[in-house]
Amino acid sequence: MEGLQAAGPHLTPQAFKNGVDAIPPTVDPAVPTVRPIITYGDHGLWPGLADDPGGADNVSLLWWDPTVRGPDETGSPSQGAYRILNNGTRYVASHFPTEPLPFFDPANTATVYPAGHPPADLVPPKYPVPANAPNPNK
């Protein structure tokens, strides 16, 4: 929807692309975050790439731990899981950590965020509900 809004009143494929390309990152790419950064076009996040058509701009670093027991993607018990370093912190290419990374150390890693307890940066905002709003639960 943001791309449609940014395209302006005369929607064409080129206007849509120009609009999407103009949308800046929603968080500061220089600061590590658990939030994904998704942009298109050239925002300086991929050196040497003037037109980023992929969208995903930051990544988490992870490793496979065969000793972990926990739910797989379907919720079934399984053996082994990926561990995300620094509790899921994501980095852009130009701001990767320069110090040695703690691969294969389970401290400060996440495999699955507990249900109902994602990192604070991933919790959507709560908006007030107007008193006259329809209640679908009635």
Query: Which token pair is 99?
Result: 């110090």
- 3-state DSSP call for residue 77? strand
> 73-100 pLDDT, tens per residue?
788 899 999 999 988 899 988 888 899 9
Asked if residue 91 lies in contact with residue 31, where contact means CB atoms within 8 angstroms, the answer is no
DSSP 110: B
Asked if residue 68 lies in contact with residue 80, where contact means CB atoms within 8 angstroms, the answer is yes
> 41-77 pLDDT, tens per residue?
888 888 777 788 888 899 999 999 999 998 887 888 9
